[in-house]
Structure 1
Amino acid sequence: MDHVEALLIGGRAGVGKTTVGWEVSAQLAAAGVAHAYIEGDMIGQLHPAPAGDPDRVQVTERNLAAMWAEYARLGCRRLVYTRTVSVLPEYGAMIQRALTGEVRLIRILLTASDATAVDRLTRREQGSRLEAELRTTAQKAPMLEARAPAGTVRVGTDDRPVTEIAKEVIAVAGWLQ
């Protein structure tokens, strides 16, 4: 493979991005498929936000570029990347810049009902973030649905085991063929 492939797993809070990302990584590893897994929400977490970068997009891009440079040096050509907005066009452009060269983007938008998202968030969030997460997840679902570009594959996560969801995501990527 002479190009890079980036599997972008996005979706509102509570759809299971992190859980699915880890399971995708585990299934790929079990099949002997070389890849890296990066949780995008974590590589831009700092407070306060840098001057001129209130949404931390620039610092996220620089951190991703630095991490990817090392993975690429080690021969990695596939990236599993999770972040709420990763499927959006401007975020895909940022990922292409950070990974450099020819990059094939595979966009997966995980979906879940409001009830499922609220249930998962209520079980997950034990601190002061719960109210904010509940408020923003309801806003992000329609925004992501409306702005995801053509070719984005929707994968429902309601009442499904993570192993099954991950198999579907990997099948869309075509990484086990």
Structure 2
Amino acid sequence: MTDIEVLLIGGRSGVGKTTVALETSVLLREAGVPHCLIEGDLLDHVHPAPPDDPSRTRITRRNLAALWANYAELGTRRLIYTNTVAILEPDLIRQALSAAAPPRLVNVLLTATDATARRRLGGRERGSELDIHLRRSAAAARRLEAEAPPGTVRVPTDRRTVRAVAEDVLTATGWTR
């Protein structure tokens, strides 16, 4: 049995992954639950991609492993990890954490309608990047819905407060102390 637990928050662009993860962290802090938060979308933000790693999977794994090693050294045993496809990459997570026993993974897929994602992305992206992000977001939503592993908890974000969504996400983990 492992004592490492990972909350994987996935979802299309514009669904609110980072915002919800930060609020989930607030709820955990308020409850006195030790944890750390890693924003996975920043772990592979390099251009150009490494020649031997065009999908940036290895650099993501290496960066996650380095960050986790620092947190684990402090005694941290619970990780909130956000990335669009986090729920589809359990092997990457397990390899990066390299624990003696496999970590317990809790998969949460945040969902939003195309209209909600468009509104949120429109407030964040400008110029030619908006259309690119809208197309990628829609494609990611379809892929995540089709490929989400069994047991994935789906949490809608449309017309809900960040706090309410984070409370649902936290409920999925069972982390109370």
Same fold (TM over 0.5): yes
Partner of 1:149: 149
Using the size of structure 1 for normalisation, the TM-score is 0.95
Partner of 1:109: 109
Partner of 1:166: 166
Alpha-carbon offset, residue 126 of structure 1: 2.9
The CA distance in 2 between the partners of 1:9 and 1:2, in whole Å, is 20
After TM superposition, what 4+ stretches of structure 1 lie above 3 angstroms from structure 2?
none
Q: Deviations for 1:70-116, whole angstroms, at most 9, x for unmatched residues?
A: 1000000000000000011xx11100111122200000000001100
Secondary structure, aligned partner of 1:49: coil
The CA distance in 1 between the partners of 2:157 and 2:136, in whole Å, is 19
Alpha-carbon offset, residue 129 of structure 1: 2.1
The CA distance in 1 between the partners of 2:152 and 2:71, in whole Å, is 26
The alignment yields a C-alpha RMSD, in angstroms, of 1.3
- 2:97 counterpart letter in structure 1: L
Alpha-carbon offset, residue 30 of structure 1: 1.5
- 1:92 counterpart letter in structure 2: P
Secondary structure, aligned partner of 1:140: helix
The CA distance in 2 between the partners of 1:140 and 1:134, in whole Å, is 10
Cα 1:27–1:45, aligned 2, differ >3 Å: closer, same or farther?
A: same
The CA distance in 2 between the partners of 1:94 and 1:106, in whole Å, is 15
Using the size of structure 2 for normalisation, the TM-score is 0.95
Partner of 2:13: 13
- 2:39 matched to 1:58? no
Secondary structure, aligned partner of 1:54: coil
**Conserved in 1, the CA contact under 8 Å of 2:2 and 2:104?**
no
Structure 2 gaps of 5+ residues are none
- 2:93 matched to 1:95? yes
Cα 1:127–1:28, aligned 2, differ >3 Å: closer, same or farther?
A: farther
- 1:134 counterpart letter in structure 2: L
Q: Percent identity?
A: 54
The CA distance in 2 between the partners of 1:134 and 1:16, in whole Å, is 14
Structure 1 gaps of 5+ residues are none
- 1:117 counterpart letter in structure 2: A
Secondary structure, aligned partner of 1:107: strand
Alpha-carbon offset, residue 172 of structure 1: 0.6
Q: Deviations for 1:16-56, whole angstroms, at most 9, x for unmatched residues?
A: 00110110111111211110100000011111100121111
Q: Deviations for 1:142-169, whole angstroms, at most 9, x for unmatched residues?
A: 1110111101110000000000100110
Secondary structure, aligned partner of 2:51: coil
